[in-house]
Structure formats: C-alpha cells, structure tokens
Amino acid sequence: MTKIRTLFGKKLLPHHMLNFSEQLYDILVREIELGRWQLNERLPGVIQLARELDFGTKTIQTAYDRLKREGYVRALGYRGTFLKSRHPQASAAAGKLGVLISPEDTDDPLTLWYQHVILQTAKKRNLIPETKVLPVHLAAADINRRGRLFGDDVLGILSLTPWQMAVRFGEAEGALPVAFLLPPFAAGRPKVCADIEEAYHELTTRVIRYGHRCVIFSEDSVEPDPRQSEMHRRGYLQAMRENDMETEESLLCASQSVNNNHLSSVTGHLREILRKGKSAGPIAVVAGSLGRAMALSRAALAEGVRIPEELGIVSIGSAPVEGDPHRQITGMLPDFDAMTEMCMEMIQQQRDRGRSDFTEVKFRMHFIRGHTLACHGADPFLFPEQLPENILSHDPASLSRAVANSPARSREKR
C-alpha cells in the first residue's frame, strides 16, 4: 500500500508531471505567503522533514535550494533555514487569488498540476493563491460573496469546479469576480476550457497521415463524466469519416468493459486488436484516456509487442512509457500556462470593467511527438508545426484559439 504523505495538511502524491521536490516547493511557498512563519523564523530542518515524510534529504534540499535562490529564505549553516521574505519580488503582495476545488478532486493529478500552474501564474501578478474545497454547508449564493468563503483580501476566484453561481460580479454588493477552468461540457461562465473533441479529431488525423491503415479507438469507461468519453469518440469518428477509414465498432464496444488495472483484461483486448489488424497494415490505437494508453503499453511490454514498430498508441496527455521512463506516450496536451493566464485576464476584466468580454474561451490542444507513434512513409512536411521530442510550446498565438460567446467552432483545413 502506498504511503500517504502530507505536509501542513496538503498531500504529496506520485505524479508523472510534478516530482515531489516541486510539490514540496509549492506547499512551502503557499505557507510562507499565507503567514505560517514570521520573518527570521526558522523553517523545519531538512533532516526533520525527510524523516517525517520518508523522503531522502536530497528531495527536501532541492525544494529549499529553490526557495533560497528566489529570495524566500536564507541558510545559516548548521543553524538551519530562516524566512527572509514573504514576497521577494515586491514589498507586499497585491492581494490573494481564491482557488476553488471540489472534494472529489483533492487527490486528482490534473487538479494538482493546475494548482502548480496557478501558483506560478499568480506569482507573476504578485498574488497569493489561497485554495479552498467547495463546502457543502455554504449556500451556492454565498460562495463568491466577499468575506464568506474567502476573506476580504481576495481579489477574485479561479474555480476548478462548477457550481450554480447565483451571485455574479456587478449584480450584487460584495460579489467577487469568478473565472472557471473546466472541461468543455461542465457548466460555468465565464469559462476557459480545452477543446478535447477537436484534439481527438487532430490526433486521429495525424495517426492516419502517418500511414496507419488500421486505427482503433479504445474507449475508457472510467472517465468521471460520460460526456467526456462522447467528445473523445466524436472527434475520432469524424476524422475517420473524413479520411474514408472504416471503424471497428465491435472492438470499440468491447473496449468499454476493459479494466485498466487488470493485466489479463487489457491483454485480452490487446490480442483482439492485433488479430483484427493483422492483415490491415500498420496498427494504431487511439486511447480514450491516458490511463488506457498506459495500460495498453504495459500489456504490450508483457506480450513482447514492440511500440511503435508493431503497434502505435496515442492519447490525450503524455506520460512515461511503462518500463521505460525515457520514452513518452505520444498525445495532445493543453497549454496550461495560457489557459490559466486567460482565467486571470477574465478576472481582471471583471474588476476593471464590471464584466468579462468572454463567456467561453476554448483552447486548441497541441501535439506531443513522444515515442509511441511510428511514421510509415508519411511526408514530414505535412506537419510543419511538429515540435522536437518532448519540448512543449507555450505560444498561445500559434497553439490556442478563443471562441467568445459561442460554442460554434471551425476546424483548420490541413
């Protein structure tokens, strides 16, 4: 059983994009900025924290070294590490940013990553993020009222969870501006979201243009909301129709009952995929989730199937290939930095103008080349925007598109 590590009430979780030193740094910065220690007060020692959290001292020291480089603390040899400044980049913080999450998502890897990105974005604006779990005891109308859930020094709320927001900024005294960072099917306005249907359309199109003649969709039934799986499936099916490709409906239906945590279940699914595609040329699986992609790569390793030579695997998200931490799963990722910046812009617009110019902004996801998709004779010039391996671009001008006040969207013709 995996040990649950907590620091000041915050869990430290295994995460494929965020190591423990980075999580420690995030927690310590929040606690410093929220006033846990007075100036010149000693922080917990490296050896003490390593013992309490069951980490090596290097993990703790890496986080402390970053705090020192950024001017938060100073190290006085054997005497320990002491608080030097709560806000090294300014004499005082401009205020706090409320961050709202749901009780179900406190251990969610994506929520943990968003909190990490929000911390970096808030620091650029000299704001202190303060995270709260959506309370069940507080009426929906009071969540964004100043002084109820968040204190009077909070300038706005960035919500990672939907709720029925009865009080909007500018409509009632004491309301806080709010921006929602949510999936496209979740309710909340003004909202920023990743266009996951378009992402699956592009991902499938790329697989086909790389020369794969058998492209199978493996739907993951563990998605928390069936509307998300439906969007994944629609994007895949549209790309298949546009390229006059046949879909394997029986395999798609069978994939919904596969258990990612049972190797035998995934192996049976993999063998059926390989049988179906035996005479069709290069085979590729468009996985309905990163969890399904990782499960299939694990099963392929056990069966001696070579990835990507014999089987291509792609998905939304990217993580190390099972058994080979130096290779990444090919996929699509949102531009997390740009999406968080847009939420901050929405909050600022409400503060400046009493309204937001956007009700919904959709961001196009971008391609992660990875190592699990082979190229079978495709012309590389079909993909002029392809990036070097594992290098993510954060240029919102080229990778993001905003759709204001309308759910309608058009796809680029490539």
Residue 343 CA to residue 118 CA, distance in Å, equals 10
CA 177-407-180 angle, 5° bins: 25
The whole-number pLDDT of residue 91 equals 60
**At residue 99, does pLDDT exceed 70?**
yes
Bridge-partner residues for 98, per DSSP? 130, 157
The whole-number pLDDT of residue 326 equals 82
What digits encode the pLDDT tens for the residues 15-65?
Answer: 777 889 999 999 999 899 888 999 999 999 999 999 999 999 999 999 999
Q: How confident is the model at residue 1 (pLDDT cuts 50, 70, 90)?
A: very low
Side-chain half-sphere exposure of 135, counting CA atoms within 13 A: 13
Residue type, 94: A
The whole-number pLDDT of residue 110 equals 84
Q: How confident is the model at residue 392 (pLDDT cuts 50, 70, 90)?
A: very low
What digits encode the pLDDT tens for the residues 170-223?
Answer: 777 888 999 999 999 998 999 999 999 999 999 999 999 999 989 999 998 776
Contact 280, 308 (CB under 8 A): no
DSSP states along 180-215: EE--TTS--SSEEEE-HHHHHHHHHHHHHHTT-SEE
CA 160 to chain centre: 11
What digits encode the pLDDT tens for the residues 129-172?
Answer: 999 999 878 888 788 888 889 988 899 999 999 988 877 887 77
The whole-number pLDDT of residue 285 equals 96
Q: How confident is the model at residue 378 (pLDDT cuts 50, 70, 90)?
A: low
Please report which residue ranges of 10-56 form alpha helices under DSSP H.
20-33, 46-53
What digits encode the pLDDT tens for the residues 403-414?
Answer: 333 333 333 333
DSSP states along 71-102: TSEEE-GGG-EEE--S-TTSSS--EEEEEEE-
CA distances from 256 to 2, 219, 272, 291 (A): 28, 5, 14, 13
> Mind listing the domains of the chain with CATH numbers?
5-83 (1.10.10.10), 95-194+336-358 (3.40.50.2300), 197-334+366-399 (3.40.50.2300)
Residue position matching structure tokens 């090294």: 88
Residue 113 CA to residue 96 CA, distance in Å, equals 19
Higher per-residue confidence, 136 vs 285 = 285
CA-CA-CA-CA dihedral for 259, 264, 269, 271, to nearest 10: 170
Higher per-residue confidence, 93 vs 7 = 7
Closest CA to 179 of 166, 193, 200: 193
Please return the burial class of 236, using the count of CB atoms within 10 Å of its CB with bins 0-12, 13-18 and 19+.
Answer: buried
Please return the burial class of 287, using the count of CB atoms within 10 Å of its CB with bins 0-12, 13-18 and 19+.
Answer: buried
> Does the reported pTM lie above 0.85?
no
Task: List Cβ neighbours of 26 (8 Å cut-off, separation of 6 or more).
Answer: 115, 116, 119
